[in-house]
Structure 1
């Protein structure tokens, strides 16, 4: 049987690759060290498959169609943005397991959209580039939640999707060793007058909830509260909540945190562990 062997939360800030030196060197070094720690932990866990949960930023989808939840079940390549300083190319998927997650979700009332071919944006490409690409044995299953364009996915639904993903992994007859990434956040304001603001108090409050495995408090955060205290970019916490749903009962260890106004983001990292 397949095994879920770990989970990680991390930012997917495009400026980490596109403009790393815009930030102070110490913050850059600490951020990259956090990614290296995740990269090393994945090797220690002997993982062979990564489920990366992110959200589109009007790079793939648009006013014509914004899926609430989408899973890539076929060809994957990217990044679609040409300014990330990341070479564009194929990303190895695990289509069989991805399709199994899709089908299992349908049986459980998850109305997945799916892509037989997709060019991913920075939500998938940046974490893949910084924590996955160096390990050629890893296959990646991209998942997109609408955590960026209002009306965004509801947090309880994001958690339920995570639970469905976990049930599918547990029911998979192969011997895969899977880790899950919840990406994005924490506080950032995108395309508003407050762009560049970071709310470190809010960010550390979120990380404390994660450390305690306090999913109830995370689910109790209203969208209005998230928007006021964390900005429109903090809706990406729903990607974290989904990953926590995959993990189930958990505790977590904060790997690192940096408030980086130069990257317009509070960058938080955590490792999720079964409680």
Structure 2
């Protein structure tokens, strides 16, 4: 059987790797410094594998077939968007298959033998692992493309995931990593939205035909959002969210519904689904948190762990 040694919830932003601060006092400096502290704490926990729960940003999933959840069980390839890691990632295949078998019956999670992941999975994995080449199991959650999996269903998946890991045939120490959020506002990804330009709508549906070309067209638009000190970030809501998870009060978050969540945390705030899954799987509250609003990265940059960080 596996042992879940803890959870790390962590915001991600492409700009954390593209434009890290040169001065630790500059925006993003505190967040990056605290990621090093978390990596040191993870080394002390000595996990044998990592289950990373994160989103995809139209690099693997498109509207030709948009699954709510995808589990990678064999080959996993990092796309390398926004200067993130590119290439093959090590996979804990025995654990991945045990998770799949443990979830079967309760959840029809899509399966991938050749999964592409982007910075939504890779950035937090890289920051947490602290240089150790830990094998991972990626669980991709649709947080960007309506219709989204219900918040309550994500909590149910987390509980089932925790049970599947704990009952796994894999004998090892497993760290959970939830990558996403916190508050940030992004352009609409809904093909039904008349405000979405026709070329971008076509890419969201047919982007699988040429993912590299789609990504090359998209990245300049995203990069143009960086560096704005007035970009919207709701630090008050982010603090409320972290406090709820420190109290294990996922019901308060679920009670917001999609409309309430988006109103206060933005369209990018839907990524907190990954934290809900991770917390439910770990079955313990956050005991340490760090937070820095970084409008220049268009995101509230939060970290939470279920173990102490020095």
TM over 0.5: yes
Secondary structure of the structure 2 residue equivalent to 1:116: strand
CA deviation string 1:65-124 (max 9, x = no partner): 11101100011121342xx223412211111111111121113x2001011012211111
The Cα shift of 1:23 comes to: 9.5
In the alignment, is the contact (CA less than 8 A) between 2:50 and 2:174 conserved in 1? yes
1:135 and 2:107 correspond: no
- Residue 248 of structure 2 is aligned with which of 202, 207, 213? 213
Q: How far apart, CA to CA, are the structure 1 residues paired with 2:84 and 2:238?
A: 27
Q: Quickly say closer, same or farther: Cα 1:106–1:147, change in 2 above 3 A.
A: same
Q: Rg bigger for which structure?
A: 2
- State TM-score, norm by structure 1: 0.92
Change (3 A) 1:22 1:46: closer
Match of 1:89 in 2: 87
Which residue is equivalent to 2:110? 113
C-alpha separation between the residues in 1 aligned to 2:12 and 2:184? Answer: 12
Q: Secondary structure at the match of 1:111?
A: coil
- State the match for 2:161 in structure 1: 165
CA distance, structure 2, for counterparts of residue 201 and residue 86 of structure 1: 29
Q: Is the 8 A contact 2:36 2:130 kept in 1?
A: no
SS of 1:20's equivalent in the other structure is coil
Match of 2:76 in 1: 76
Query: Unpaired runs of 5+ in structure 1?
Result: none
**Residues 59 and 80, structure 1, Cα contact 8 Å, conserved in 2:** no
Residue 267 (structure 1) aligns with:
301
RMSD: 2.0
Aligned counterparts of 2:172 and 2:304: Cα–Cα separation in 1:
23
Provide the rounded CA distance (Å) in 2 between the counterparts of 1:259 and 1:236.
16
Q: Distance in 1 between matches of 2:290 and 2:72?
A: 30
Q: Is the 8 A contact 2:72 2:113 kept in 1?
A: yes
Structure 1 Cα separation of the partners of residues 61 and 285 of structure 2: 34
8 Å CA contact retained: 2:279, 2:285: no
**CA contact 2:10–2:179 (8 Å) conserved in 1:** yes
Matched with 2:99 is 101
